[in-house]
């Protein structure tokens, strides 16, 4: 496995709403790509991403293989105050998991 | 003395029963990863055509080509140098969104991403997708039992290995 960077998540207030930006560190192999030795790289991609604000689930994202490497997502949440906790968990097809958490700035 | 013994017996019986149940759960726990995957609509993601994917993901519904879905692909729009990271932005005036799906028509498996947003989520939603070749992209929003579909054509310089 390649060396993993860090999953990043930023959330900040913008005109009274919360802007959330997510950058996950994941190779997102589709199972169709080849490596230097011309061998197929087995599929390894994030399938399920869930997002919570203060323990309330707000967004579920299911990804196929067509999600780009190091997936990026941005969306807004209605309202919100400083200090809200935004949590994100992901699971990939090999069962690997990740969790990131941030406070709204 | 007898009572005490009885109590102990009950205690251990209970323990034993819950232990067996636990063991059984653990054994079926082999199913756990599969159960996790079951949340992932495999049929939809492995479908080879847009129609099949939509049918598997969202079920039967009226399709409406609609301007209520704003959707931009690539930067500058309709063009992307690198197919491995094609920026996509979805916005809409629709209310009560149940489901959003992004599809790339000519990818080996067209369905790229599907979202289930809560009421609290406001669009635009931005992300990046891989696109194998010049292709139509679709944003499909399911709201109040109908599918709102918008298409955009995107040109790719270097195909992203989707």
pLDDT at residue B140 tops 80: yes
- Measured CA to CA, the distance from residue A8 to residue A21 in angstroms comes to 8
Could you give the ipTM of this predicted complex? 0.77
> B2 CA to chain A: closest CA distance, Å?
50
**How far does chain A reach from its first CA to its final CA, in angstroms?**
34
Alpha helices in B50-152 (DSSP H): 50-58
Q: By the CB < 8 Å criterion, does A87 face chain B?
A: no
Strand A17-23 vs strand B135-143: parallel, antiparallel, or unpaired?
unpaired
Cα B32 from chain centre: 19
Burial B98-108 (b: 16+ CB within 10 A, else e): ebbbbbbebbe
Asked whether the bond before B124 is cis by omega within 30 degrees of 0, the reply is: yes
Which residues, 6 or more positions from A36, have their beta carbon under 8 angstroms from its beta carbon? none
Contacts of A53 in chain B (CB under 8 A): 120
Which residue is closest to A93 within chain B, CA to CA?
B37
Contact map slice: B 85-124 vs A, CB within 8 A: 85-86, 104, 107-109, 111-124
Across residues A59-72, what is the average pLDDT? 85
pTM of the predicted protein model: 0.72
- A78, B113: Cβ pair inside 8 Å? no
Predicted confidence band of residue B145 (pLDDT cuts 50, 70, 90): confident
- A91, B36: Cβ pair inside 8 Å? yes
**The predicted structure's pLDDT at residue B22:** 59
Q: By the CB < 8 Å criterion, does B27 face chain A?
A: no
Strand A46-53 vs strand A17-23: parallel, antiparallel, or unpaired?
unpaired
Predicted confidence band of residue B18 (pLDDT cuts 50, 70, 90): low
Contacts of A48 in chain B (CB under 8 A): 36, 39-40
Q: By the CB < 8 Å criterion, does B151 face chain A?
A: no
**Residue B44: its H or E element:** helix B42-46
Which residue is closest to B57 within chain A, CA to CA?
A62
- B161, A71: Cβ pair inside 8 Å? no
**The predicted structure's pLDDT at residue B32:** 47
Across residues A13-31, what is the average pLDDT? 85
Tell me what the pLDDT averaged over chain A comes to. Answer: 83
Show the tokens assigned to A74: 């941005």
The string of pLDDT tens digits covering residues B32-80 is 444 444 567 777 777 777 777 777 777 766 777 767 777 777 666 777 7
What letter would DSSP give residue B35? H
Across residues B96-125, what is the average pLDDT? 84
Across residues B96-112, what is the average pLDDT? 83
The string of pLDDT tens digits covering residues B67-91 is 777 777 766 677 777 778 888 888 8
């Amino acid at each position: 496995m390649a060396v993993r960077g860090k999953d990043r998540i930023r959330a900040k207030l913008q005109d009274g709403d919360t802007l959330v930006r997510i950058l996950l560190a994941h190779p997102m192999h589709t199972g169709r790509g080849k490596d230097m030795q011309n061998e197929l790289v087995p599929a390894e991609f994030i399938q399920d991403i869930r997002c919570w604000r203060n323990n309330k689930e707000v967004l579920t994202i299911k990804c196929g293989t067509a999600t780009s490497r190091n997936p990026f997502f941005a969306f807004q949440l209605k309202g919100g105050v400083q200090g809200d906790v935004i949590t994100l968990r992901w699971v990939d097809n090999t069962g690997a998991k990740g969790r990131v958490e941030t406070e709204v700035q | 003395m007898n009572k005490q013994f009885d109590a102990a017996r009950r205690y251990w019986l209970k323990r034993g029963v819950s232990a067996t149940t636990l063991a059984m759960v653990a054994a079926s726990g082999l199913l756990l990863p599969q159960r996790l995957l079951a949340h992932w609509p495999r049929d939809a993601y492995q479908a080879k055509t847009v129609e099949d994917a939509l049918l598997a993901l969202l079920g039967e519904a009226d399709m409406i080509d609609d301007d209520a879905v704003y959707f931009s692909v690539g930067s500058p729009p309709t063009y992307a140098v690198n197919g491995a990271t094609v920026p996509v932005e979805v916005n809409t005036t629709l209310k009560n969104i149940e489901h959003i799906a992004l599809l790339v028509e000519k990818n080996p498996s067209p369905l790229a991403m599907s979202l289930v947003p809560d009421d609290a989520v406001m669009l635009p939603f931005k992300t990046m997708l891989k696109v194998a070749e010049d292709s139509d992209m679709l944003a499909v929003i399911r709201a109040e039992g109908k599918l709102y579909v918008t298409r955009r054509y995107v040109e790719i310089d270097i195909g992203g290995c989707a």
